[in-house]
């Protein structure tokens, strides 16, 4: 990571920017003010869940590249409950919306998982294609089904107030999704490291042939790993609707998919490392936007830094093997 920052500093210096000031802005914006720290935590929530949605199937050596579509499916499912059942009391509406969003993400991943299980179709291809279907579905919902006529961008009408996540802090606002995300991350860690099913998942990824010989249902484990990844991404979408936007917005998935994959690869599939890497990337994202506002540095510079981080991580693996 340090090498990537050095390389990015060379780019910034060549463009005529103050490199030390740029580094200070990137690294410390998240910690200078309460608002900066809360914005970092709000970025951290979907990044953590999307990273887990990639990392959990990766433990079984399956590649879930459909986190973007699964997040949107979760967001649509959660918003549908929040809009159609807005009259329900909060103690029913909120958990129902969160559970529906999580289940929607799982269902969205279940089709590629079934195609892999039944016909052996590569999950990378099918999960990517499902992303494009989700884009069209979100566009249809926000422009035809629940269109907000007052919005100038494809946006749905708001969900009911009872479907909003409660705030832990009101100023700046931080919703309870941070507790849910961290709790889920802890549960996933114990599932992978302390349960028989988690051991079978790891064994399947490490050596599927040996696992099959020793009685592990390798194909079923692969299917369940992809569905669990979809559920995690769907939960991220439900939290974004219930805690941040309170409606559907075209483009709400941001670049969470690519960053989630990046986090999973930097963590090298280590579930315990994922939250720490996710928080570091959230700090980088918030700092980069502050860099754009204060120093007029193109936002694309952060993409360069993130790409360089991944390149150097992959190169370190090559060096270690040699």
If you average pLDDT over every residue of the chain, what do you get? 90
- pLDDT at res. 14: 77
Lowest mean pLDDT among 32-36, 52-56, 128-132, 187-191: 32-36
Q: Report the chain's C-alpha Rg in angstroms.
A: 20
Question: What is the Cα–Cα distance from 198 to 204, expressed in whole angstroms?
Answer: 10
CB within 8 A of 199, min separation 6: which ones? none
Question: What is the Cα–Cα distance from 74 to 239, expressed in whole angstroms?
Answer: 9
- pLDDT at res. 215: 86
Beta bridge partners of 175: 167
Contact of 123 with 113, CB cutoff 8 Å: yes
What DSSP letter does each residue of 216-231 carry, written as one string?
A: --HHHHHHHHHHHHHH
Task: Evaluate if residue 224 carries a pLDDT over 70.
Answer: yes
Please state the rounded mean pLDDT for residues 85-106: 96
Task: Evaluate if residue 317 carries a pLDDT over 70.
Answer: no
Q: Domain coordinates of the chain in residue numbers?
A: 41-266
Region label for 298, one of left (φ > 0), alpha (ψ between -120 and 50) or beta (otherwise): beta
- pLDDT at res. 129: 95
HSE of 113 in the Cβ direction (CA atoms, 13 Å)?
A: 24
Share of the chain above pLDDT 70, in %: 95
Please state the rounded mean pLDDT for residues 266-279: 91
CB within 8 A of 223, min separation 6: which ones? 113, 114, 116, 117
- 243: which DSSP letter? I
Sign of torsion over alpha carbons 101, 268, 135, 287: positive
Digit-coded pLDDT (tens) for 171-217:
899 999 999 999 999 999 999 999 999 999 999 998 888 888 888 88
Question: What is the Cα–Cα distance from 294 to 191, expressed in whole angstroms?
Answer: 44
- What is the value of pTM for the model shown? 0.93
Cis peptide before 62 (omega within 30 of 0): no
Please state the rounded mean pLDDT for residues 110-115: 95
pLDDT band of 3, cuts 50, 70, 90: low
């Amino acid at each position: 990571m340090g090498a990537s920052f050095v390389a990015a500093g060379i780019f910034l210096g060549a463009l005529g920017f103050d490199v030390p000031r740029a580094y200070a802005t990137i690294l410390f914006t998240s910690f200078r003010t309460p608002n900066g720290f809360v914005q970092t935590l709000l970025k951290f929530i979907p990044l953590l869940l999307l990273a887990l949605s990639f990392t959990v199937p990766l433990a079984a050596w399956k590649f879930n590249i459909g986190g973007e579509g699964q997040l949107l499916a979760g967001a649509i499912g959660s918003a549908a409950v929040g809009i159609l059942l807005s009259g329900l009391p909060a103690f029913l509406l909120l958990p129902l919306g969160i559970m529906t969003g999580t289940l929607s993400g799982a269902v969205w991943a279940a089709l590629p998982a079934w195609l892999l299980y039944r016909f052996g179709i590569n999950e990378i291809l099918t999960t990517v294609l499902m992303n494009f279907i989700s884009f069209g579905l979100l566009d249809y919902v926000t422009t035809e089904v629940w269109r907000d006529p007052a919005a100038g961008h494809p946006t749905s009408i708001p969900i009911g107030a009872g479907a909003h996540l409660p705030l832990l802090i009101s100023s700046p606002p931080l919703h309870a999704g941070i507790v849910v995300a961290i709790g889920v991350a802890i549960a996933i860690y114990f599932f992978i490291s302390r349960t028989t099913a988690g051991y079978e998942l790891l064994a399947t990824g490490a050596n599927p042939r040996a696992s099959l010989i020793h009685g592990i249902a390798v194909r079923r484990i692969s299917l369940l790993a992809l569905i669990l990844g979809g559920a995690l991404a769907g939960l991220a979408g439900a939290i974004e609707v219930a805690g941040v936007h309170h409606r559907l917005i075209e483009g709400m998935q941001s670049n969470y998919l690519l960053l989630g994959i990046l986090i999973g690869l930097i963590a090298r599939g280590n579930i315990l490392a994922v939250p720490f890497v996710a928080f570091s990337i959230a700090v980088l994202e918030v700092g980069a936007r502050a860099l754009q506002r204060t120093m007029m540095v193109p936002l694309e510079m952060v993409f360069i830094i993130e790409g360089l981080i991944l390149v150097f991580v992959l190169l370190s693996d090559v060096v270690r093997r040699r």
